[in-house]
Amino acid sequence: MKIVITGGAGFLGARLARALLELPTLRLGGADPQPLEQLVLVDRTAPPADLAGSPRVQVVTGDLVELLEARPAQVVPDDADAVVHLASAVSGECEADFDLGMRSNLRAGQLLLERCRALGRAPLFVFSSSLAVFGSAPGLPLPEAVADDTLPTPQSSYGVQKFVLEQLVADYGRKGWLRARNLRLMTVSVRPGRPNGAASSFLSGMIREPLAGQRSICPVPPETPVALSSPSRTVEGLLRALQTDDAEWGPRTALNLPALTTTPAQMAAALERVAGARAVDLIDWTIDPAIARVVTSWPARMDSRRAAALGLHADASYEDVVREYLREQPSA
């Protein structure tokens, strides 16, 4: 069995890769268990050393659009059984640079779908979409809880790009060119490493930086409700998408992963219970209207019945999420 992960050197991509390599066998799309023979990790940079050094890992580095235009078989080999498409420009970047988002998200996705179509063997295709496909618009407010069949009304370029690619993935699946798995991820917190250009980046930074003794900024009002998922729950959803058969997965429309609904104020309270008041004192509550406008347009409560039927559940509490981060990042 051969699986491709775009964005394979990123935080989620590397974590998913490790989880796949640890499995003795995998029931890809509900088929009989088979061992993973090769994992192709595609990204602009090389993955961490433990992955790059694995005999079962093939590393492909470069710009995804350029690679797919010039050497598509290097990105998705002719015998690929599955593709997990994680590579993406993030929300804040796409809002600041429209052309970047259209190229990195839409153009790259289209080329990747065409490569899968050219294989002629209908690989399983897991696309990591986002809760940003939903947005509260004037005269069209979101329901109290967003369900899998709620009409997407994105209020950012990033959300539009994700939703357009969802529809393309579904249509390629309808045509029989691939087995479609659209998965809407929640904001992942706590992410290790450096801040990125996502509008939601502060939802990790307001925990990660204080734990490292550094100041951080929360750019939205403290009582803003947000929908979060820990890294482990997010990867759990991606693994389930890879192993579920078509009948159990259900329609080609996107599936919402479960979310823990919380607020920055509650997150700070959880941080205080874990690390004390000195950590919370390092958070600066400074409103950024541009970020607040994007974040407050996103849904905060998800009705994830399809995910629950697959055995997927939200984190029990944000305090558990913080403690998980500290267990996995002892240097924090």
Catalytic residue annotation: 158
Taking only Cα atoms into account, the Rg of the chain, rounded to an integer number of angstroms, comes to 19
pLDDT at 90: 86
Question: Phi-psi region for residue 7, left (φ > 0), alpha (ψ -120 to 50) or beta?
Answer: left
CB contact at 8 A, 300 and 227:
yes
Q: What CA–CA distance (Å, rounded) separates 31 from 27? A: 5
Using an 8 Å Cβ cutoff, are 233 and 315 in contact?
yes
Class (C level, CATH) for 2-186+230-256: alpha beta
∠ CA(165), CA(173), CA(86), 5° rounding? 45
Six-digit token pair at 203?
A: 């939802």
- String of DSSP letters for 100-156: HHIIIIIIHHHHHHHHHHHHSS--EEEEEEEGGG---BTTBPPPSSEETTSPP---S
Residue ranges per domain, the chain?
Answer: 2-186+230-256
How far is 134 from 197, CA to CA, in rounded Å?
A: 20
Asked if residues 244 and 309 have their Cβ atoms less than 8 Å apart, the reply is no
CA distance 119 to 9: 24
Per-residue pLDDT in tens (0 to 9) along the chain, 332 residues: 999 999 999 999 999 999 999 999 999 999 999 999 999 999 999 999 999 999 999 999 999 999 999 999 999 999 999 999 999 998 888 888 999 999 999 999 999 999 999 999 999 999 999 999 999 888 888 999 999 999 999 999 999 999 999 999 999 999 999 999 999 999 999 999 887 777 789 999 999 999 999 999 999 999 999 999 999 999 999 999 999 999 999 998 899 999 999 999 999 999 999 999 999 999 999 999 989 988 888 899 999 999 999 999 999 999 999 999 999 988 77
Q: How many CB atoms are closer than 10 A to CB 79?
A: 12
pLDDT, residue 193, reads 84
Which pLDDT score is estimated for 332? 72
Q: How many CB atoms lie within 10 A of CB 77?
A: 17
* Residue 194, pLDDT score: 81
How much is the pLDDT for 199?
79
Identify the CA nearest to 150 among candidates 304, 308, 310.
304
Q: What dihedral angle (degrees, nearest 10) is formed by the CA atoms of 317, 201, 86, 242? A: 0
Bridge partners of 229, per DSSP, are 188
Which SS3 state, helix, strand or coil, does residue 213 take? coil
Two tokens, residue 249 = 């997965």
Give the C-alpha distances (Å, rounded to integers) separating 304 from 61, 145, 250, 308, 314.
35, 9, 13, 6, 9
pLDDT attached to residue 4: 98
pLDDT of res. 138: 81
In angstroms, how far is the first alpha carbon of the chain from the final one? 37
- Torsion-angle region of 176 (φ positive above 0: left; ψ -120 to 50: alpha; else: beta): left
